[in-house]
């Protein structure tokens, strides 16, 4: 495994020049001067962050602190009031991203098969059918699919639908993959399965991943870095590194390093909740 480089908290940018804070080496996503308010109440103000290339960063914090909002601003789903977000110095328009939505039942097209859902973004890019089939076959092999992808989404279990969503998000080989609560509606067996497959996809592709989680164990388990947020107006409370080698199996939750990191993140979380 490559050495884990931390996401980095930087001081507030001067409003007149966001670019006076250069991205650090090995940075993939650069956030400068990000601001967002709802109903006149600030959520983020002059927020700066560097996210490292090829790492998995989990976002965790108190309820209402804007975890999903932060990820969605970076992913281009929510428009910030101010600020700049770059991917290797490029804008979002020039960057390939994938997104796994929390509500997978609404994210899949119910009128086409699971296979065609996975193939959809490839066809949108104009790939010929042999190339589409080859890429879907790669994903089927990676995820060791044992259910019938010719079925429609509503004929699948929740875990199977979420698996299809993740496969679709990886189909175009994105540079950055965003996952909003990917385990929230899964039973324990499927949670273990998806954890394994996300790690295998990460090891195989090196894709940068950003995960929002409301479950502390999930937030720590996959992460190279846990980005802990404060109550609103939201700042970064701490960035906690977790360097346990991959692949991490279910037994990793008993590893002393996992126990230590989880306990520390819980301590920071409680401090912020009670602040």
Mark 31-70 as b/e (b = at least 16 C-beta within 10 Å): bbbbbbeeeeeebbbbbbbbbbbbbbbbbbbbeebbbbbb
Question: In this predicted model, what pLDDT tens digit does every residue of 222-253 receive, in sequence order?
Answer: 999 999 999 999 999 999 999 999 899 999 99
Structural domain includes residue 2: no
Give the position of tokens 């992913």.
Answer: 75
Q: At what angle do helices 129-142 and 114-124 cross, to 10 degrees?
A: 130
Cα 196 to Cα 142, 144, 224: the distances in Å are 11, 11, 15
Structural domain includes residue 202: no
Give the position of tokens 């103000």.
Answer: 45
- The pTM of this model reads 0.87
Residue 158 pLDDT: 86
Query: What are residue 84's DSSP bridge partners?
Result: 32
Residue 15 pLDDT: 38
* Structure tokens given for 234: 């939201």
CB-based contact 178:98 (threshold 8 Å): yes
Cα 29 to Cα 126, 183, 216, 239, 256: the distances in Å are 27, 24, 24, 16, 31
Instruction: Output the DSSP codes for 159-205.
Output: HHHHHHHHHHHHTT--SEEEEESTTTT--HHHHHHHHHHHHHHHHHH
Structural domain includes residue 269: no
The helix (H) or strand (E) run that includes residue 41 is: strand 41-52
Structural domain includes residue 131: yes
CB-based contact 67:230 (threshold 8 Å): no
> Cα 187 to the chain's mean position, in Å?
20
Structural domain includes residue 223: no
- Note down pLDDT in tens along the chain; length 275 residues: 334 444 554 444 433 334 445 555 588 999 999 999 999 899 999 999 999 999 999 999 998 899 999 999 999 999 999 999 999 989 999 999 999 988 888 899 999 999 999 999 999 999 999 999 999 999 999 888 989 999 999 999 888 998 999 999 999 999 999 999 888 878 888 889 889 989 989 998 899 999 999 899 999 999 999 999 999 999 999 999 999 998 999 999 999 999 999 999 999 999 988 87
Structural domain includes residue 186: no
Domain count, the chain: 1
Smallest CA-to-CA distance from 50 within 13, 21, 8, 92 is with 8
Residue 184 pLDDT: 80
Residue 106 pLDDT: 86
Structural domain includes residue 31: no
Structural domain boundaries, residue 133: 104-173
Structural domain includes residue 128: yes
How would you list the strands of the sheet with 41-52, edge to edge?
Answer: 8-9, 41-52, 27-38, 82-87
The secondary structure of 219-257, three-state, reads HHHHCCEEEEECCCCCCEEEEEECCCCCCCCHHHHHCHH
């Amino acid at each position: 495994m490559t050495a884990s480089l931390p996401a980095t908290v930087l001081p507030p940018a001067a409003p007149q020049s966001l670019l006076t804070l250069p991205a650090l080496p090995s940075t993939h996503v650069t956030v400068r001067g990000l601001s967002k308010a709802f109903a006149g109440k600030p959520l983020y103000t002059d927020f700066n962050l560097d996210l490292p290339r090829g790492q998995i960063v989990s976002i965790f914090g108190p309820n209402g602190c804007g975890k999903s909002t932060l990820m969605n601003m970076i992913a281009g789903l929510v428009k910030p009031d101010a600020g700049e977000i770059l991917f290797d110095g490029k804008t979002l328009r020039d960057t390939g991203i994938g997104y796994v939505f929390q509500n997978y039942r609404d994210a899949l097209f119910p009128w086409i098969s699971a296979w065609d859902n996975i193939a959809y973004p490839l066809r949108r890019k104009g790939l010929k059918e042999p190339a589409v089939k080859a890429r879907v076959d790669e994903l089927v092999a990676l995820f060791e699919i044992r259910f019938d992808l010719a079925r429609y989404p509503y004929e699948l279990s929740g875990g199977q639908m979420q698996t299809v969503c993740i496969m679709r998000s990886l189909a175009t080989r994105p540079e950055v993959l965003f996952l909003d609560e990917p385990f929230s509606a899964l039973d324990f067996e499927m949670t273990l399965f998806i954890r394994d497959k996300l790690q295998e996809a990460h090891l195989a592709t090196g894709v940068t991943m950003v995960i929002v989680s409301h479950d502390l164990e999930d937030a720590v388990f996959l992460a190279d870095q846990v980005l802990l947020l404060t109550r609103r107006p939201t700042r970064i409370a701490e960035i906690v590194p977790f360097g346990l080698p991959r692949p991490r199996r279910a037994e990793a939750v008993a590893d002393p390093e996992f126990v230590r990191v989880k306990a520390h993140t819980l301590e920071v979380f409680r401090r912020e909740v009670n602040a």
